[in-house]
Structure 1
């Protein structure tokens, strides 16, 4: 088995499902701390506890890929060229300089340069995507179709990014191009029956991972699931302060959403195995 960096965790399974965890990391190597306003702000927008919420996935035979590096260092779900995936809408960059709420992450004049961003990309972004491609190729050699399921979460109320309160389940398929409609329809059906609110290709249509890897005509179906944090953690709605965010992971509180996510991943497996 090939070696990979210690910040990159890969658990290999044989099922036709790759689970990507690109934003759960909170590690910021010391060489990237220069100029940051505060450690808390730098980690504020992590996808908190998602790796625990989905820890059942490997038991289903899925392959799980996770980076421990904070998205503040480099966001592995952004277009590497720096082009916005959501033109005309507020978003954060490949190496973010603001939080989702618009707060500056760096003291003035200390933002990472183009050369520094290129180094971060080569060190962290490129290996993450190489790992995704390697596992996709490995599984496609065994299965006619596979599903890449990209796991995310975000606070429910962030006026800078979207109006109102975000639905609990935000299914992203890049406007139906990243996966077969049968798959997104099946996932939506589970969401409808869960009692949680949902939307398909709403504010979050899928980031770079979904858009670059989803090629249903080639047997690779990609779906992004952006969860509103209130669905699985005790989230104070609206602005949050350092002493209240993130709230601890509570298994009992998270259980109803986890109970819906389990059949969603099982449906991804059923779909992949049913396709010739």
Structure 2
């Protein structure tokens, strides 16, 4: 495995698009939209770039890009989820993947590790193994130190700055889901899944507002099944402290060809609808999520 500094390989590894002035207590985050695949990573994989991209939330950063002109920042990763997943605990690591001993604080027994989708994933979304052989433990720790920790440091800083400006913050964690994950009878028509950790990561009012705004535009919305929100939603959501976190999963069939991984005919309309939806939600929320404050805006 090439030991090039991964923070250099991605030039830069993540971005934060800032509005001229932040107008709302919202921060948008696209942690799985990264599409830069270093040659060193590709050469160590069984899979080609197209197969690796099956785990990618392709184009989600572009779908949500207009929120910046509305007055909210958008953070997005450029490194791919198959390389490093920042929507996990920092050390959810599978010991079967590595040569050498993992640190004692590594979480080697989580359900996500067992499924092959830890901080350094073992498989892509369709279940194929990523790597030709084992990775050095030092390689995993390097990615965590130089990519994972700086990403979360940026996210924490941006959330804290928003709290300073508005007294609270709403994190919208932006993802996409393969249409094949919705084959179960009760989910066939789901265009969007909203995950609020079953009501624990944000005020119910926020979920209600986003749900209603999407339904008004003709989208079928499901809550928490099969995606209730990952590490980011859970870790940064503390509604009692004025820190609200909501995950949004968008059915990829709405905006892209899932076979060719290219934007589809619905891309423009979905982008406009998401922009209008969150413009309405942010105006409704105004400076905070307390019902009395909203009514006064």
Gaps of 5+ in 2: 1-7, 93-106
Match of 1:92 in 2: 117
Matched, 1:220 2:243: yes
- Residues 94-134 of structure 1, C-alpha deviation per residue, up to 9 Å, x if partnerless? 11111211111122xx1434432221111111111000001
Residues 158 and 87 (structure 1), Cα distance of their counterparts in 2 relative to 1, 3 Å cut: same
Match of 1:79 in 2: 89
Note the aligned Cα RMSD (angstroms). 2.5
TM-score of the superposition, structure 2-length normalised? 0.79
Matched, 1:119 2:142: yes
SS class of match (1:33): helix
- 2:162 maps to which of 136, 139, 151: 139
What displacement does 1:183 show? 0.5
Deviation >4 Å, runs of 4+: 83-91
- Distance of 1:90 and 1:183 partners within structure 2: 31
Equivalent pair of 1:41/1:105 in contact (CA under 8 Å) = no
Gaps of 5+ in 1: 236-243
- Greater Cα shift, 114-123 or 126-135: 114-123
- Distance of 1:61 and 1:28 partners within structure 2: 31
Match of 2:285 in 1: 271
- 1:255 maps to which of 268, 288, 294: 268
TM-score of the superposition, structure 1-length normalised? 0.84
- 1:208 maps to which of 231, 252, 263: 231
What displacement does 1:20 show? 0.5
- Distance of 2:217 and 2:81 partners within structure 1: 30
- Greater Cα shift, 265-274 or 9-18: 265-274
- Distance of 2:71 and 2:255 partners within structure 1: 23
- 2:37 maps to which of 21, 28, 35: 28
- The answer to which structure has the higher helix fraction is 2
SS class of match (2:88): coil
Matched, 1:106 2:106: no
Larger radius of gyration: 2
What displacement does 1:31 show? 3.7
- Distance of 2:116 and 2:269 partners within structure 1: 30
What displacement does 1:168 show? 1.0
- Distance of 1:205 and 1:257 partners within structure 2: 22
Matched, 1:171 2:181: no
Matched, 1:63 2:76: no
Equivalent pair of 1:145/1:272 in contact (CA under 8 Å) = no
